[in-house]
Structure formats: structure tokens, C-alpha cells
Amino acid sequence: MSPRPKNIRKVNNMPSVAGFKPIASNICRKDAIFLHFEEYEAIRLCDYEMKTQQEASVSMGVSRPTLSRIYTSARQKIAQALVRGVAIMIEGGVAYTDSEWFHCGVCGFVFNNIKPALKIRKMECPVCHSNDISISNININKNEIMISVMLAGNMGQGALNVLTTHHIKVIRGCSGNILDVATDYLNGKLTDSGVGCSSHEHHHECHEHNHKE
């Protein structure tokens, strides 16, 4: 079965802080719980503004079941951070804001200022750092972006076959920060590992399907 396309979730109000840290805690960043922007937005809409999940799903541009999954994930992460006494960092995920979209004329990367409150001193591509940037008028969830390459952790053979049929090149074995991964790809440092998910039945221990996007 081919993977369902994941719509990018709209975040209307970005968090005012980058995260939270327990009192008298010296826990380093790598031990933190990472709350994605769309998870923060689900909590803000449902628990702060007291909207119904249906209302929140409309605000974020996703289906109600998708909103429910995002909301549940967010609450579980917050609970883990409270019980384990670790910091919460708010970053990453599959989200966009109302700020403008930009297109890099050198590497073709399309990006959105996910933190529009921050003043950008120099507009440059976050991947190749080129300043050949133009405003891109796109609808991110209406298939207006052509995908030719997918950088993935691991992937089942069925999904790989579907993507290959649609002329999408797949590079497996990727991990880490998405911008670092994209930069390594553009610099020719990544090659397909050739390793797929051979077993999806044993509690699916292939954790790289949803690394940061």
C-alpha cells in the first residue's frame, strides 16, 4: 500500500518561546522532548482557545481524524516531559504559516519563514545559502510543487515501487536535521542505503519514517 500524502498543517499563532525547561534542571538539549509546531497549534486551539476538534481541524487545514492524532501526540509528549522531568523544545514538524513562500533560483528549494516574528536580516536559502531568492505563489496542499526526490530513513518495498513508478528518486538511510540532510544531498554526500523495511509486522521498529521534515 502506498503511503498517504501528508498535508502541511497551518499554524496561525507561533509560540512566543522556543520551549520550556524544568526548574533546576541541567538536562541537555538532546534529552528534550520535541513538540512539533503543529502539535503546539493543536494544544493552543483545543486546550487554550477551547475549540472543538472539528473547529481546530478547519483552522489547521486538516481532517478531524488527523487533528485528533496530532492532538493526542502533543498531549503524550507533554506528559512524558512532565513525568521524566525533561525540557520541551518546540520546533520542526510539517507546518507552515501565513508568511510568504520563497523559491531558491539555485537549488530549487521552496521554503516558508516558519517564525515570521523573527526579523530576517539577510534573505537566503536555508539549504545552499544562495541569495537568489524570489517570492513563490503556491498552494502548498494543492499539488503545485513537483517532487522529484525523496530523502527518507527507511521505506517498505511497496512504497518504494510506487514512488519509483512516478519517477521520484528515493534516497534511503537519511537521518538528522532535515536542512542538514538536504544540504548533504545537494553536495553529493548522500547515496541510497539500499535498505528497506523488511518487517512491518513486528511492532514496526523502523523509527526513521517520520524524522524531522
Q: Which residues pair with 88 in a beta bridge?
A: 20, 33
Q: What are the tens digits of pLDDT across the range 100-124?
A: 677 888 887 777 665 544 445 567 7
Q: What percent of the chain has pLDDT over 90?
A: 19
Q: For residue 189, which of 198, 181, 197 has the smallest C-alpha distance?
A: 181
> Minimum mean pLDDT among 75-79, 165-169, 171-175: which range?
165-169
User: What confidence score (pLDDT) does residue 171 get?
Assistant: 87
- Enumerate the H helices of 31-63 as residue ranges: 37-43, 53-60
Query: Which pLDDT belongs to residue 50?
Result: 96
DSSP-derived letter for residue 210 is G
- Identify the helix (H) or strand (E) that includes residue 135: strand 133-136
Q: Say which residues have a Cβ less than 8 Å from residue 165's Cβ, sequence separation at least 6.
A: none
Residue 4's region, left for phi above 0, alpha for psi from -120 to 50, else beta, is beta
Question: Rounded distance, CA 19 to CA 205, Å?
Answer: 28
pLDDT, mean of residues 179-202 = 70
Q: Which residue has the higher pLDDT, 195 or 206?
A: 195
pLDDT tens for 19-73 read: 888 876 565 666 789 998 899 999 999 999 999 999 999 998 888 999 999 999 9
Say if residue 14's pLDDT is above 80: no
7, 57 in Cβ contact below 8 A? no
Q: Kindly report the pTM of this predicted structure.
A: 0.54
Q: List CB contacts of 56: < 8 A, sequence separation 6 or more.
A: 42, 45, 46, 67, 71
Residues of the chain above pLDDT 70, percent: 70
- Give, to the nearest 10 degrees, the angle between helix 53-60 and helix 64-84: 100
